[in-house]
Amino acid sequence: MNPIDRQRATDNEQRAAVPFCPHFGPCGGCQLQHLTYAAQLDLKASRLRALLEAANLTVPELQLHPSPPFGYRNRIRLTLGMVDGDLRAGYLTSSSPDNLQPATCNSQLAFLPIRECPIAAPILWRTAEAFLDLINESRAVWLSNSQCTPDQLELFTTADESRLQLTLFLRTAAKSLPPKLAAAFTALCEGLLARIPELTGAGIAILPALSNQRSRRAEQPRPGPTWGPPGLSYTVSSLQPTTNNQRLSTGNLQPATSYWVPRGAFFQINRFLLPELVTLVTANQTGHLAWDLYAGVGLFSRALARSFSTVTAVEIAEPAFTALAAGSAPAAGSKAGKLPNLRAVKATTLDFLRAAVVDRDRPDLIVLDPPRTGAGLEICSLLARIAAPTLIYVSCSPETLPADLATLTASGYRIASLHLLDLFPQTIHIETLAILTR
């Protein structure tokens, strides 16, 4: 072996890791678990830099924000399927062992039952196991009706795992559920509460009959029976300075912020990095008016309301907008509360900006956190016309981000700082935060 090949072999050996999860490979969800965490970060940083350089963007030094590599997810959605006569939980994959029967899935996907999910907060898988035990004990109610089948289970917990919400997705071609299921669901939740005292609320979401076009984005579930409060009061704690985030000025750190998160509303999933993400967006930002586009339940809006006279938060999706507009939980004792200087607007970001360009008000700060499709040319062009002094772009797609940044920088913005927040350790997904100034 020549010296170059020998060095490559040594480098690969140092980057390799024994996968922690027994389902690594067939699951397909944690594509990087065969690498050390340091190697994962290097790979993601290199990929992001390459994509930005290909767009001819001038960028500052990339700042990395690592996460604890396991147990970080506050939410998981599991697929449910029958295996050897019992209901099991797992994930849909492009391939599955030959001895497993596909669950409720289309011809392109197969069901992989799992025994654990190490990237999830421990309480989530513990709850899934307890839920499956109770369902299988009551199979006459839940598993004998072929016209109404358990399809998915979503679990969402607070950062400290002290409270938890559950959503059971049922598939049916019928217009309504059998009346007995409401009482059975109450009994199921009360039985689960005895095993998982952190459970605060649960609901059934009704999905249409299965088709080959199965898609979480396309399918709109109907609400079914509920138990307990319809969401969680979620607190994002203040950031505690560590060697990893000394670059953030400790004199400008925000106190803890509380949010009302209804079942089904979008919320960032990394319970460990949320304080750092919120601080990066809000630290040193003050002024008269801030806009929060794609606001969700107000992850950034509520924190920005401390330092801006007015915050306008734009969101189109339900139930996030209802929570954003109300600002407080229907459950007693919630720490979230309505903020008088936070104005919620139900609109798409594009419609809001089309109207805003003709108005006289101009924000001091614009924050946008678009979906994986990115903001797009028209939205970025409108943002350029509005020309806020500071624009903070939070991106979950390194593929669409460069084109958006190229449009904005061509209009006079410069990228003042660039951050890679590893919200999704063990996976190929990258979260980027770019702070742009004029």
The pLDDT tens digits for 250-278 are 445 568 999 999 999 999 999 999 999 99
- Provide the pLDDT confidence category of residue 303 given band limits of 50, 70 and 90: very high
Percent of the chain residues past pLDDT 90, beyond the cut: 78
Judge if 218 and 280 occupy the same domain: no
Judge if 311 and 428 occupy the same domain: yes
Give the model's pLDDT for residue 371: 96
**Which structure tokens are listed for 51?**
């994509």
In a domain, 306, yes or no: yes
Give the model's pLDDT for residue 100: 41
- Provide the pLDDT confidence category of residue 327 given band limits of 50, 70 and 90: confident
Judge if 267 and 409 occupy the same domain: yes
CA distances from 153 to 42, 149, 185, 221, 235 (A): 34, 12, 14, 13, 23
Judge if 157 and 304 occupy the same domain: no
Give the model's pLDDT for residue 105: 46
In a domain, 3, yes or no: no
Task: Tabulate helix, strand, coil % of the chain (nearest 5).
Answer: 25, 30, 45
Give the model's pLDDT for residue 188: 97
Judge if 195 and 283 occupy the same domain: no
Find the range with the poorest average confidence among 8-17, 25-34, 135-144, 272-281.
8-17
Judge if 216 and 241 occupy the same domain: no
What is d(CA 155, CA 75) in angstroms, rounded to the nearest whole number?
Answer: 6
User: 228, 260, 275: which is the final residue of a domain?
Assistant: 228
Judge if 412 and 330 occupy the same domain: yes
**Which structure tokens are listed for 325?**
């507009």
Give the model's pLDDT for residue 369: 98
CA distances from 335 to 10, 159, 256, 265 (A): 53, 15, 10, 18
Find the range with the poorest average confidence among 128-142, 298-312, 316-330, 406-420.
316-330
Mean pLDDT of 363-385: 97
Judge if 276 and 418 occupy the same domain: yes
Give the model's pLDDT for residue 426: 97
In a domain, 342, yes or no: yes
User: 161, 193, 228: which is the final residue of a domain?
Assistant: 228
pTM for this structure? 0.89
User: 174, 204, 228: which is the final residue of a domain?
Assistant: 228
Give the model's pLDDT for residue 14: 64
Full domain range(s) for residue 170: 75-228
CA atoms within 13 A on the CB side of 170: 27
Q: Residue 158: which CATH number? A: 2.40.50.1070
In a domain, 54, yes or no: no
What is d(CA 314, CA 400) in angstroms, rounded to the nearest whole number?
Answer: 21
In a domain, 23, yes or no: no
| 7-12 long-range contacts, CB within 8 A, separation 24+ | none
Which contiguous run of DSSP H or E holds residue 53? helix 37-54
Mean pLDDT of 398-424: 97
DSSP state letter for 162: S
Judge if 191 and 331 occupy the same domain: no
Q: Is the pLDDT of residue 409 over 50?
A: yes
Mean pLDDT of 190-204: 98
In a domain, 270, yes or no: yes
β-pairing verdict for 431-437 and 390-395: antiparallel
In a domain, 4, yes or no: no
In the chain, the number of structural domains is: 2
Give the model's pLDDT for residue 219: 76
Judge if 224 and 238 occupy the same domain: no
Nearest to 265 by CA among 218, 232, 219, 227: 232
What is d(CA 233, CA 266) in angstroms, rounded to the nearest whole number?
Answer: 14
Give the model's pLDDT for residue 213: 56
Q: Is 213 left (phi over 0), alpha (psi -120 to 50) or beta?
A: alpha
What is d(CA 99, CA 44) in angstroms, rounded to the nearest whole number?
Answer: 36
**Which structure tokens are listed for 130?**
């307890």
Judge if 112 and 182 occupy the same domain: yes
Q: Residue 351: which CATH number? A: 3.40.50.150
Residue 70 CB partners (closer than 8 Å, separation 6+): 20, 118, 119, 425, 426
Q: Is the pLDDT of residue 367 over 60?
A: yes
In a domain, 45, yes or no: no
Judge if 99 and 156 occupy the same domain: yes
